Amino acid sequence: MDFSFLREAGVDERRGFTVCPASSFHALPVSLLQAVVVTDIGGPDGMEAVKREFLRRFSGASEVTLWDESRRQARTMQAGALSYPAGGGALCLIFDPETCLRRECGAFSLDRLRRVMEALRAPDGCPWDRAQTHETLRTYLIQEAYEVVDAIDHGDMDNLKEELGDVLYQVVFHARVAEEAGLFSMQDVTDGIADKMIERHPYVFGTMSAEETAELLGTWEVRKMREKRRPHLLSGLSVSLPSLLFACIMQKKVSSICREKAEKAEDLRDRFEFSWRKAMEMAETGSDPAEMERCFGKALFEMAALIRSFGMEPELVLHRFNSLYAEQFGKWEDVLSRDGRSAAEADEKDVRRLKDWLREQKLC
């Protein structure tokens, strides 16, 4: 097929283009970043199928071009107005996925939130907001992230929406503090992450075979290490991570390049039990505190690996147990409160009741 008409249709051939028959349009990746030419549209039914597939991916307000090869005519319109023209002919649909995606996202904007932040940080704004720095805000970002996790754990979508907003607010806050210092802006943040994701996923945003994709995914951690110019595989881990989560991430990173056969749960259990017995022996014999601490740390590390072998995330496992325990402990306190007492005034009978209560809930 002669594609010289693309220039007449306004396509920048230097960016390249993808040709796709109408019958395969449904399988075309939505993430392509070059012009798409849908050929062999056929009659009215074919046009309706192409239109339906397009509207499944993009907005009906997206701009597309219908090329009539027999008449050598190009007609630009909104996708929602697509229809098979009278007289038919050899038709092609031409559109730019990147432009369509930008227009699809056009209704979404951070501008209002940005203006709110600017007002709060202005000289006549909120004294508390004006006083914040990256360092003073770090605790709030961690707290909001955990509240997102809590909303997910409880399946509370209304609360999840609110907590995601709180996290987003923290991101905008940090970006504004940086912008005032002349370091970077919120636009730099969003552009940076978009560029990074495109660069790291050439098998999605470009042409790559299944074999090349498998090889690329297999070297993911090594590629990130080189990209960041880190001297070691674990150099990029934040020491501020919760220790249990830190252990799990380390284990995943190491296993990504140590391609040994996955260990069986029985072997991991044996390693954990051996480490735990050794730690307890040292504790019972009053061994050197530093060595005893190392042994208990190793036992916890092995326990994390064992839990992961069952497809669970140790950090979430402990987080959920903590939440259940706190909830049941609170109910016990409520019983004492109805008797006019506090937990500090509990007697042995009350403590036994607590243990029985926790045992009934399988928390003890």
Cβ neighbors of 47 (< 8 A, separation 6 or more) are: 41, 82, 83, 84, 91
Q: Is the pLDDT of residue 272 over 80?
A: yes
Q: Is the pLDDT of residue 203 over 70?
A: no
Q: Which pLDDT value is given to residue 45?
A: 87
- Of 25-34, 222-231, 278-287, which has the strongest mean pLDDT? 278-287
Q: Which pLDDT value is given to residue 29?
A: 72
Mean pLDDT computed over every residue of the chain: 81
**Each residue's pLDDT tens digit, 42-93:** 888 888 888 888 887 777 888 888 888 777 788 888 888 888 887 777 788 8
Span 203-221, average pLDDT: 58
Per-residue pLDDT band at 256 (split at 50, 70, 90): low
- Of 55-59, 202-206, 284-288, which has the strongest mean pLDDT? 284-288
**Each residue's pLDDT tens digit, 215-255:** 555 555 556 656 666 666 556 566 667 778 778 777 777 77
Choose the weakest-confidence range: 5-9, 170-174, 245-249.
Answer: 5-9
Do residues 166 and 110 touch, judged by C-beta distance below 8 A? Answer: no
Q: Which pLDDT value is given to residue 276?
A: 92
Q: Which pLDDT value is given to residue 212?
A: 59
**Each residue's pLDDT tens digit, 101-120:** 655 555 567 888 988 999 99
Considering only residues 28 and 292, tell me which one the structure prediction assigns the higher pLDDT. Answer: 292
Q: What is the 3-state secondary structure (H, E, C) of the chain?
A: CCCCHHHHCCCCHHHCEEEEEHHHHHHCCCCCCCEEEEECCCCHHHHHHHHHHHHHHCCCCCEEEEEECCCCEEEEEEHHHCCCCCCCCCEEEEECHHHHHHHHCCCCCCHHHHHHHHHHHCCCCCHHHHHCCHHHHHHHHHHHHHHHHHHHHCCCHHHHHHHHHHHHHHHHHHHHHHHHCCCCCHHHHHHHHHHHHHHHCCCCCCCCCHHHHHHHHHCHHHHHHHHCCCCCCCCCCCCCCCHHHHHHHHHHHHHHHCCCCCCCHHHHHHHHHHHHHHHHHHHHCCCCHHHHHHHHHHHHHHHHHHHHCCCCCHHHHHHHHHHHHHHHHHHHHHHHHHCCCCHHHCCHHHHHHHHHHHHHCCCC
Q: Is the pLDDT of residue 211 over 70?
A: no
Considering only residues 362 and 22, tell me which one the structure prediction assigns the higher pLDDT. Answer: 22
Closest to 296 (Cα-Cα) out of 255, 287, 252, 267? 287
Span 191-208, average pLDDT: 75
Q: Which pLDDT value is given to residue 82?
A: 86
Written as six digits, the tokens of 100 are: 């369509």
- Of 42-46, 161-165, 353-357, which has the strongest mean pLDDT? 161-165
- Between vectors from CA 131 to CA 130 and to CA 134, what angle results, nearest 5°? 100
